[in-house]
Amino acid sequence: MRTAIVFAAALCASTIVQARSPTAQILHSGFDSEVTALSASQVAGLGTSEEIVRQYLKRIADIDDSGPRLNAVIAIFPDAIEQARRLDAERRAGKVRGPLHGIPVLVKDNIEVAGPVPTTAGSLALKDNITNRDAPMIARLREAGAIILGKTNLSEWANIRSGSSTSGWSAVGGLTRNPYVLDRNSCGSSAGSGAAAAANLAPLTIGTETDGSIVCPSSVNGVVGFKPTLGLVSRSLIVPISHSQDTAGPMTRTVRDAAFLLTAMAGSDATDPATAEADKRKKDYAANLNAYALKGMRLGVARDRIGDNPAIQARFEAALDVMRKQGAEIVDIADSRKGFDGLGEAEFEVLMFELKADLNAYLATTPSTVKTRTLEQVIAFNKAEPAELRWFGQELFDLAQSKKGLDDPAYLEALAKSKRLAGPEGIDRLLRENKVDLLVSPTTGVAWKTDLVNGDQYSGPSASALPAIAGYPHLTVPMGAIERLPLGISFVGTAWDDERVLQAGYAYEQASKARVEPAFKPSIEATLP
C-alpha cells in the first residue's frame, strides 16, 4: 500500500544493472562501497544525484511494485527529486557535505521523517500518524547530505504483537518477499529494509532492532546488518518496544557503506539519555577499515551455539578458514551456555513491561489525527479492524497491557538480571576468560517458507540474544548461501567496540567475497536444474 507518489523516469532500462547510462552502470558496484562509486560518478561529472534518485525510483517501480513485487517499500517521499536537486546545486557551488552527499536512503517505517508520509509501524492504527517531525537520527542524515527516499515495510509493530506472527507482514504494507526465493520469508522486523538492500532498491537502508530485527533480515536477505552499541544512535521519535534494547542501525550491501551510514547516524541527543556518551564515543567508522584487520585478532567460537545443520556448519567452517588465512586465531569456546539460566525469561519480562510504558509514552506525542493514544486503545482498534487480526492475534499486547509500571519490583529484578547475565557475566566473561577480541558464529539459519496461517518457522541457530540484551555491537556479513538461500556470519564485541567489530567484518568480507546476488526465483524448486 504505497502512500505517496512514485516518480517514474526514463533514464534506465528495465533494471539498473542493464541500463546504459554511466550513472546507472555503477549502481551495481561490487564488494567495497556503492556510496563511494556513486559519489565518484558525481565528482567525475558522469551523473547527478537527481539522476541517481530517478534510477532508484525506476528500480523500485520495476521490482518492488511489479515484476517480482517484493513489497519492500511502503512509501516514497514526493520531494525526493527536489531534495536531490538542492544537493546537486550545493555540489555545483562547491559545497559537499561528506560521503553521503546526494545518496538515497530508505528508512524503516517506524522511524519518523518530516513530510506527508505517515509513520505507521505497519499498523492501520497509525495510518494518520503524519507528525512532520524528523527523528534526530534523520536530522543527522539530512545534515550529512543524505536523501530520504522512502519508507520500508516491516513486521507490524516490529513483531511484538504476537508470538505466532509472520515476519515481514503488516496490515499497511502486506507481505515482504525474500528477493532470493520469493516464497521464502524475509525475516523481521526490518524485513523491508533487508529485502530492499538485497534487491538494490537503494544504496543504503536503515532498520531497527530489539532482538534480532536488524541482523536476522540482513542475514536471510544476504546483506550486511549492524546493530550498534545501545546509546550510539538516538532512538527518539522511533515507535518503541523497549528502551533497554531498541536501537536503529545500517542495513547495506557492503560493510563500508554500513560504516558510512553509521558515522552519519551516530551522536548524542538530549532527548535520549542513553546517548549521553555518543558524541565522545563516535568515530569515523569507515576511516580505518582495511583488508588486513583480522591479522593477530583472536576470535572466539562458541561451538555449542552453531546448531546441527551440516550445510550451515560447512559454510561456517569455510568462513573460519578464510579468517585463519587472514591471520586470525580461532579459539574454540567449549561451554558457552553455562550461567545463563533464566535469561530468556528475564528478557521477555522486561520487554512486556517496557512495551506498555514506552508505547504509551510515544502515542501520547502523536498528532490529534491518531485516535489510538494508548496501548489499550490500540488493542481495541485491532479487535474492531478485521484486516489487523486476520492472520494472527495480539496476545503479547494483551500481556503487556496487564503489566504495572516501571517501578514494579518484578520489572526491576528482571532488568537487572537480564543486563547482568548478557553483559558482564555473558559476553564480557566469554571474551575475558577465553582471551579473545570478538565472538563469531552463524547469524541464524536460512529463510523459511512463508506461511501466513501458521506463522514463522525459524530454523537454525541465532546469535542475536546476548548482544541485543546487553546492548553490545553485533555485525552480520554474508557468508554464502545454501540452495540460493543466503547465510550470514556474526561478529560480536563488548560495549563501544563498534569500530573493531566493523573492521573484522570488513576484512572478512573483502577476503571472502561471499555475497551472492538475488535471483528472484519463485520457489526453491525453481532453482533446481
Q: Which residues are catalytic?
A: 108, 189, 213
* Nearest alpha carbon to residue 451 among 463, 459, 443: 459
* Contacts of residue 21, Cβ cutoff 8 Å, sequence gap at least 6: 11, 12, 47, 51, 55
**Euclidean distance between CA atoms 358 and 45, whole angstroms:** 48
Lookup: cell for 275:
546517548
- What is the DSSP code (8-state) at residue 423? I
**Euclidean distance between CA atoms 268 and 265, whole angstroms:** 10
- 127: exposed, middle or buried (Cβ count in 10 Å: 0-12, 13-18, 19+): middle
Reduced to 3 states, what is the DSSP secondary structure of residue 156?
Answer: helix
Q: Which helix (H) or strand (E) holds 92?
A: helix 80-92
Reduced to 3 states, what is the DSSP secondary structure of residue 441?
Answer: strand
Residue 210, amino acid: T
Residue 396, amino acid: L
**Euclidean distance between CA atoms 422 and 528, whole angstroms:** 42
The end-to-end CA distance of the chain, in Å, is: 36
How far is residue 80 CA from its own chain's centroid? 22
Q: Which helix (H) or strand (E) holds 301?
A: strand 298-302
* Nearest alpha carbon to residue 325 among 288, 292, 369: 292
Helix, strand counts (H, E) of the chain? 17, 13
- Cis previous bond, 155, omega within 30: no
Please provide the size of the chain in residues. 529
Reduced to 3 states, what is the DSSP secondary structure of residue 249?
Answer: strand
The CA-based dihedral angle spanning residues 344, 347, 353, 358, taken in that order and rounded to the nearest 10 degrees: -140
**Euclidean distance between CA atoms 288 and 501, whole angstroms:** 12
